[in-house]
Structure 1
Amino acid sequence: MLLHAEVRRRWLWTAGAAVAAYALLTAAVEVPWGPLMARDAVISAAAHQFALENPAWRQAMIAITRTGDTVVLVAVLVFTLGFLLRRRLFAQLAFVCAAVAASAALRLTVHALVARPRPEDMLSSGAGWSYPSGHTSHFATAALLLLLLAWPLTRARWQRIALVAVVGGWALLVGASRVALVVHWPSDVLGGWLVALASVPFIAVTHAVYLNHSRR
């Protein structure tokens, strides 16, 4: 996957900003920083009450959050890798594998070190520590990868707008559903989004630089 120099710079700046924000947020969670904890508690309490008072909303959030389950994402990943392998798109295949591995490593390392408990009044199932949100980081990573792979295939402006709206919007909804169901604190979801914004752009730039040098 080739990227122009200007695009690489933008992606690198995005990755750097996401890493810095992720580091600051992680430090605030680990300390823990009072204002952040208080804001998390207020939002979670409001989400819990709203979900209990609106069963239809709760069921909608459950349906959305299930699209981010591991079994769904693994199936999508296997299909994507199989498609790229069948088309002999080995560069894209390597990029997807590296980005998924980087995102998982960035999340799991902090996940184990911080070991943040989940909210007590969860309205859906959740296992393991809370920070950062696995559903959020996995789906956001998948969304960014899909955007990067599909972008060159779209020509019309409306197609690209639709692609960003559907894929990006769904990634935001999956993260929001974790807060709506009180399975994660809001800062957990923010951390999950930052994981994807740090790992995918960095791997994209690294991969593009490697391809540029290897083809000289």
Structure 2
Amino acid sequence: MAAHRSAPAVLPPPLRVWLGLIAALAALVVVGLGVLYAGYSEPGTVDGWIQSPVDGVGPPWRYLALATDFLGEPAGAATLVVATVTGCLLLRRPRAAVLVVAGTGLAVGTTKLLKPLVGRTIHDGHLSYPSGHTAFLTALALVVALLATGRLGLGRTAGTLLVLGAALVAGAAMGWAQVALGAHYPTDALGGWCTALAVVPATAWLVDRLADAGRQQRR
């Protein structure tokens, strides 16, 4: 029972307000871009600026892009999730293990729900907004960063910087790979990144609330 009472939150208290505000802003960006590019089948102005020097890269950068892209494919994503869940359980962080599955799953699921609603397409009519690959890797990075923040006991500023830094690195890496391979427009990647920023903090808060409610019932 003591272990249950001392179970740490997956959304560290010092970060709750700031990440809540960031999540709300990210959700507005997702909706705004979705409305702006609804039904489009070509890059926007911003997409063109970024896409021109990145799209269609050759070796060795293409190999790096393919390797990064694999991390968002079913086999690669499943491997990352299993490895991260195992690490959370070894560290005795069951809430974090739940968040790994729920956070990444809901982030990717949200992109799948939004794609037909927005209807933006690329290459032969493939739905593209927002990028599920970018949402997945960003969501996983967010969960790992939240776990590290809690274990290291970081305060609001350091914790927020770590979480946002991890999300930025993961999102930029996968976003670059998707654009380089011609799978997404840059704004699709931005939408996927913001989807993860909106979904993961909300999911972490929900995991904590459900876990705390279950603990109260066991008393």
Shift of 1:212: 4.8
Counterpart CA distance in 1 for 2:31 and 2:164 is: 27
Q: Is the 8 A contact 1:47 1:182 kept in 2?
A: no
Q: Is the 8 A contact 1:136 1:171 kept in 2?
A: yes
- Flag structure 2 segments of 5+ consecutive residues without an equivalent: 1-7
Residue in structure 1 matching 2:140, options 134, 139, 142: 142
Shift of 1:113: 1.9
Could you give the per-residue CA deviations for residues 143-178 of structure 1, whole angstroms, max 9, x where no partner exists?
A: 111111233334799xx8899767752442121121
Could you give the per-residue CA deviations for residues 61-82 of structure 1, whole angstroms, max 9, x where no partner exists?
A: 3333333333111112123334
Could you give the per-residue CA deviations for residues 107-147 of structure 1, whole angstroms, max 9, x where no partner exists?
A: 11101222322247xxxxxx952111121111111111111
Alignment of 1:156-167 (within 5 A): none
Counterpart CA distance in 1 for 2:88 and 2:50 is: 42
Alignment of 1:1-216 (within 5 A): 1-2=8-9, 3=11, 5-30=13-38, 32=40, 37-48=44-55, 51=57, 54-85=58-89, 89-119=93-123, 128-154=126-152, 168-212=168-212
Partner AA of 2:67 in structure 1:
A
Counterpart CA distance in 1 for 2:205 and 2:38 is: 30
Larger displacement relative to structure 2 (38-47 or 186-195): 38-47
Partner AA of 2:112 in structure 1:
L
Distance 1:163 1:209, change over 3 A: closer
SS in structure 2 at match of 1:195: helix
- Flag structure 1 segments of 5+ consecutive residues without an equivalent: 121-126
C-alpha RMSD of the superposition:
3.4
Shift of 1:16: 0.7
Q: Is the 8 A contact 2:30 2:194 kept in 1?
A: yes
Output the TM-score relative to the length of structure 2: 0.75
SS in structure 1 at match of 2:60: helix
| Aligned twin of 1:124 | none
Distance 1:38 1:213, change over 3 A: same
